[in-house]
């Protein structure tokens, strides 16, 4: 059994059971606690190692796991442990085309065999249905109209606790019921007479989301008082000293990996808030930027044109933005820090999820902002873990009317910091309005024990 870092390119599979502690990763699970993420795969490494096929034509392309045979009666991929009992599994799911009657694309939990499982299916009729599947016998636990259509991504989640089975689409519960068909089993990706794509699969054993938003911050089933043994140390308490300084006059385009050797790069723009400034680095899809100190002026910082990874990157003086996430679906910031951001540090314009972990932010407006008036109104997500915030107004700003979510674990912040601020997103040319803040178990997800106030 192999273990990997908290954000993974291949499936992460950690031991669960007596004496085993899983890594604390909020992998888009929509729960009030993230102390036991036991599996995660975003397919960004280009393969599907760890999955076992049963039918269909499967391949990984562009960081997405797809089944392309619409005539396949039942195509499945399974992963995980047959011994898993109470857990929740979440994935981004996109129907790519519905074939004949009975077509579906969905997610499975507690698969004790290739034909026995709980399944949350997007149907060609536009409905989502939570099902207990036992061979050809299919029992509907509940369903709802979600307007499911080909070409659109949906976030599906199944929660299985004892005999209680719940299904969620884009964070909204569409079905809940009691069923004792199967008590343990693996997770699965499923299509029937349909083409479908899957991404950002994660399994969590820490508890389930409240069925209605709580009036106060939810209390997790498992509340870690200290980071688990597999976690990384807290962000550095000091800012790094550059090994040397490099003045640049034009944007550096990065494909593959760029390792700066802890040199300071500076020289683009005027250090102000103008949105017309060029970026210091532009990362193509799949690129990694690491061990870089970005000095001032730095223009518009870093642009990620697709999925990207920033490792141990430090911004000494944020100008317009430290980084803008644009064209991908999965972006990772691991380590490093940013300071002196009069507006925001990370701007999320594209779709998908931004993971920020082991990061220090100082003297900033917002650490993260999901764009509230971009030309395309995506559903966006942010997951923060192991963050230290000093003199920072807001950790995350999200647009709840578009289904954005923000999840927080192991946060250390000043008493005046606002953890999660909600906005109503608007079309381009208008200004979004603030409509609230604080934990609600649906869009802003954290518990009192996730925040350490100073």
- Range with top average pLDDT, 39-53, 118-132, 270-284: 118-132
Task: Look up residue 449 and give its DSSP letter.
Answer: G
Chain position carrying tokens 């065999």: 113
Q: Is the confidence at residue 222, as pLDDT, over 50?
A: no
| Cα-only R_g, the chain | 22
Report the pLDDT value the prediction gives residue 122, as an integer from 0 to 100. 96
As given in the structure block, the two tokens for residue 294 are: 């970005």
Q: List pLDDT tens digits, range 321-380.
A: 999 999 888 999 999 999 999 899 999 999 999 999 999 999 999 999 999 999 888 999
Q: Can you tell me the mean pLDDT for 103-122? A: 96
Cα 279 to the center of its chain, rounded Å? 25
The rounded percent of the chain whose pLDDT value lies above 90 is 70
Cα 138-139-145 angle, rounded to 5 deg? 100
Q: What are the backbone angles phi and psi of residue 83, rounded to the nearest 5°?
A: -85, -5
Report the pLDDT value the prediction gives residue 27, as an integer from 0 to 100. 35
Q: List pLDDT tens digits, range 4-20.
A: 333 333 444 443 332 22
**Residue 162, Cβ density class (10 Å: 0-12 exposed, 13-18 middle, ≥19 buried):** exposed
Mean pLDDT of the chain: 84
Host H or E run for residue 438: none
Chain position carrying tokens 């790094």: 240
Which of 44-48, 96-100, 399-403 is predicted with the least confidence, judged by mean pLDDT?
44-48
Q: Is the confidence at residue 232, as pLDDT, over 70?
A: no
Query: Which domains, ranges and CATH numbers included, belong to the chain?
Result: 53-199 (2.60.120.560), 245-453 (2.160.20.10)
Report the pLDDT value the prediction gives residue 171, as an integer from 0 to 100. 81
349, 353, 356, 361: CA torsion to nearest 10: 30
Q: What are the backbone angles phi and psi of residue 401, rounded to the nearest 5°?
A: -70, -15
Confidence of residue 234 (pLDDT cuts 50, 70, 90): low
> If we measure between CA atoms, which residue out of 12, 10, 28, 165 comes closest to residue 85?
165
As given in the structure block, the two tokens for residue 156 are: 């599906």
Q: Is the confidence at residue 231, as pLDDT, over 90?
A: no
Count of helices and strands (H, E) across the chain: 0, 32
The rounded percent of the chain whose pLDDT value lies above 70 is 83
As given in the structure block, the two tokens for residue 451 are: 């925040």
Confidence of residue 172 (pLDDT cuts 50, 70, 90): confident
Q: Can you tell me the mean pLDDT for 144-168? A: 91
Q: List pLDDT tens digits, range 16-44.
A: 332 222 333 333 344 333 335 688 888 88
- Quote the strand ranges of 179-320, DSSP E: 186-192, 194-204, 245-247, 252-254, 257-266, 281-283, 287-294, 302-304, 308-315
- CA atoms of 76 and 98, how far apart (whole Å): 16
Q: Can you tell me the mean pLDDT for 290-312? A: 95
- CA atoms of 285 and 212, how far apart (whole Å): 38
CA atoms within 13 A on the CB side of 49: 12
- CA atoms of 241 and 201, how far apart (whole Å): 38
Q: Is the confidence at residue 110, as pLDDT, over 60?
A: yes
Report the pLDDT value the prediction gives residue 219, as an integer from 0 to 100. 32
Q: Is the confidence at residue 242, as pLDDT, over 70?
A: yes
Instruction: Find out whether 38 and 87 touch, Cβ atoms under 8 Å.
Output: yes
């Amino acid at each position: 059994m192999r273990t990997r870092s908290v954000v993974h390119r291949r499936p992460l599979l950690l031991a669960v059971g007596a004496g085993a502690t899983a890594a604390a990763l909020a992998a888009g699970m929509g729960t009030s606690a993230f102390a036991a993420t036991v599996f995660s795969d975003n397919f960004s490494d280009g393969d599907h190692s760890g999955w076992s096929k049963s039918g269909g034509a499967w391949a990984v392309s562009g960081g997405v796991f797809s089944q392309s045979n619409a005539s396949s009666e039942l195509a499945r991929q399974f992963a995980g442990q047959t011994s898993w009992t109470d857990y929740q599994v979440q994935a981004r799911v996109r129907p790519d085309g519905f074939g004949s009657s009975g077509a579906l694309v969905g997610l499975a939990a507690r698969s004790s065999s290739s034909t026995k499982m709980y399944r949350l299916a997007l149907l060609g009729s536009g409905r989502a249905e939570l099902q207990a599947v036992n061979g050809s016998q299919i029992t509907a636990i509940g369903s709802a109209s979600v307007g499911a259509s080909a070409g659109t991504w949906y976030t599906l989640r199944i929660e299985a606790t004892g005999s209680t089975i719940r299904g969620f689409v884009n964070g909204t519960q569409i079905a809940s019921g009691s069923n004792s068909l199967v008590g343990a089993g693996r997770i699965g990706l499923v299509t029937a007479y349909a083409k479908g794509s899957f991404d950002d699969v994660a399994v969590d054993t820490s508890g389930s989301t409240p069925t209605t938003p709580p009036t106060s911050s939810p209390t997790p089933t498992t509340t870690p008082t200290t980071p688990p043994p597999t976690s990384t140390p807290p962000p550095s308490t000091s800012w790094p000293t550059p090994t040397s300084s490099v003045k640049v006059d034009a944007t550096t385009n990065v494909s593959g990996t760029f390792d700066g050797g802890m040199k300071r790069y500076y020289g683009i723009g005027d250090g102000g808030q103008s949105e017309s400034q060029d970026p210091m680095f532009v990362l193509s899809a799949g690129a990694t930027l690491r061990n870089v100190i970005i000095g001032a002026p730095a223009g518009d910082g870093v642009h990620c044109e697709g999925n990207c990874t920033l490792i141990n990157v430090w911004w000494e003086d944020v100008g317009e933005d430290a980084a803008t996430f644009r064209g991908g679906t999965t972006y990772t910031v691991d380590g490093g820090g940013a300071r002196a951001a009069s507006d925001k540090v990370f701007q999320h314009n594209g779709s998908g999820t931004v993971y920020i972990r082991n990061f220090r932010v100082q003297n900033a407006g917002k650490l993260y902002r999901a764009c509230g008036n971009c030309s395309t109104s995506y559903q966006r997500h942010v997951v923060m873990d192991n963050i230290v915030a000093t003199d920072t107004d807001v950790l995350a700003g999200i647009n709840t009317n578009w289904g954005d979510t923000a999840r927080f674990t192991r946060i250390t912040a000043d008493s005046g910091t606002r953890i999660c601020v909600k906005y109503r997103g608007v079309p381009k040319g208008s200004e979004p309005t603030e409509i609230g803040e604080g934990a609600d178990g649906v869009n802003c997800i954290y518990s009192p024990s996730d925040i350490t106030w100073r």
